[in-house]
Amino acid sequence: MAVNLPSSALLLPLISHFLIFITINGQHFTIPESTIEEIQQAFAENNLTSTQLVDFYINQIKTLNPLLHSIIEVNPDARDQAKNADEEKRENQGRRNLGDLHGIPVLLKDTIGTRDKLNTSAGSYALVGSVVARDASVVEKLRKAGAVIMGKASLSEWYKFRSLSRVPNGWCARAGQGVNPYLAKGDPCGSSSGSAISVAANMVAVSLGSETHSSIICPSDHNSAVGLKPTVGLTSRAGVIPVAPSLDTIGPVTRTVSDAVRVLDVIVGFDPRDYEATKRAAKFIPAGGYKQFLNPNGLKGKRLGIVRNPFLKSLNESIFPIFEHHLNTLRERGATVVDNLEIANITTIVNPSQSGELILMMAEFKLFLNDYLKDLLTSPVWSLADIIAFNKNNPDLEKTEEYGQDTFIAAEKTNGIGEKERKAIELMEKLTQNGFEKLMMENNLDAMVTPGSGATSVLAIGGYPGITVPAGYDINGMPFGICFGGLKYTEPKLIEIAYDFEQATMMRKPPPLESFQMTQEFLLESF
């Protein structure tokens, strides 16, 4: 169902009270900012039910979404799924472990397919009413784990690939402009903007996003969330609207590292529907999963390479001393910090037009999007050409004149993987080998450490993993994170490092939503 704000909320905003204690069965339990572990404990102690949790988030969404525009649809079956989870818990009576995500509401980026009453539309009206043949593989895993599918998060429409130069970060036709909950005029980044905003504003427990180039790391960084970008292939992309399968990956966006890891444990694994990539990655999944690497002493003995250039200069100067303080924390926690490292050809790497990344993305997008569309059971559009025509024919609905679709049109002109694309792939491989991989191996590093989200280009072109952890706020209140990046399949090391850093710093704070101008005019303008 579409998310609507009750008229009473227009007159009496309740946002300043969203961090209240709620009383359940005579016990105090604070849902906002609670972790999966804390929620499961409340379930076990009969202080909370999944149904009550879902009801809380539905109320949060009704109150906050007209301001933040981060959720496109709430699942009309969410309460029924929660009731089923509660019934399973009652019948189980603690006899067996039902799993970390049992009864936990999970929000999905609106490109992750669900065979239910929800649309999967990439934020566009062009795909409203389309029907997928089955759940995306990661959704199948979530359902099997007992998670509640809460709804679909907004995003930069079509991953911003409709027009890379004109579509604003966090905007899509179906939800409007996503708003950073920490700074209304701040960039929410994208494309998984809704996933990060919703988690940060306590509108859901955890969420899933996807990343081709920065789409998990950047919005998580900008909205004071934890974003974990897995190595390409560690999680299946089957049933997810593609950009470029050579680079695409699915990962969690959460408030804590421990929550991200618990979600990761559920969604990783081999999938015959995404055969080659997941087969390659499956053998690197550790026995016993990733939760074992939530080590409070995970920084001890690690070698960390600090890459400042060119990433630090793009950030507000007010965060510079905070970043230096964090580097000292890494040292104090037992890490060896190798500072002021440089990545060869970094100017080329961070420019997708020069690195070969954009050439590959253009060609793969047309090829694999058309394949995705052909597999739909019903759809208003069946090809990229159809989508371009839809946008042209619906300029008011899609704001086509304002935001254009030049990247779509350029992609439509491509003809598969030819000589130009093969040369782009070769260039990307050389840049990674002589750049990031050389940096890591010559300095014997466990992870690269960078301020903000600028290093996502480095991780993108090689399919490398990364995790961003909230690191503070600039003088205006805008969040920033620290990104830990590693070689392929080094998630265990990255989790150890990120978890220890998080626990030692605890920089994340709930957004000061009461600072928004809660006028009736502001609320009305948010529609």
Q: Catalytic amino acids?
A: 109, 191, 215
- Distance separating alpha carbons of residues 462 and 445, to the nearest angstrom: 17
Q: What is the DSSP secondary-structure string of 47-76?
A: S--HHHHHHHHHHHHHHHHHHH--EEEE-T
Structure-block tokens of residue 408: 């779509």
Positive or negative torsion for Cα 173, 463, 147, 62:
negative
Bridge partner residues of 466 (DSSP) = 229, 485
Contacts for 229 with CB less than 8 Å, ≥ 6 apart: 211, 216, 217, 249, 251, 456, 459, 465, 466, 467
Place of tokens 């990364």: 466
Angle between helix axes 384-393 and 357-374 (nearest 10 degrees) is: 90
- Residue 494 CA, chain-centre distance (Å), reads 17
Scanning the structure block, which residue is given the tokens 């089957």? 238
- Nearest alpha carbon to residue 369 among 111, 108, 169, 71: 111
- HEC per residue, 320-357: HHHHHHHHHHHHHCCCEEECCCCCCCHHHHCCHHHHCH
User: Can you tell me the distance from the alpha carbon of 372 to that of 164, in angstroms, rounded to the nearest whole number?
Assistant: 21
DSSP per-residue string spanning 258-271: HHHHHHHHHHBS--
Is residue 115 classed exposed, middle or buried when 0-12, 13-18 and 19+ CB atoms within 10 A define those classes? middle
Q: Under the phi-then-psi rule, with left for phi > 0, alpha for psi from -120 to 50, and beta for the rest, what region is 472?
A: left
Q: Is the peptide bond before 215 cis (omega within 30 degrees of 0)?
A: no
Which residues make Cβ contacts (< 8 Å) with residue 64, sequence separation at least 6? 15, 18, 181, 201, 203, 513
Q: How far apart are CA 353 and CA 166, in angstroms?
A: 16
Structural contact between residues 53 and 134, judged by C-beta atoms closer than 8 angstroms: no
Q: Which residues contact 353 (CB under 8 A, 6 or more apart)?
A: none
Rounded to whole angstroms, how far apart are CA atoms 413 and 96?
Answer: 55
Contact between 120 and 112 (Cβ < 8 Å) = yes
Helix segments in 45-149, DSSP class H? 50-68, 78-92, 137-144
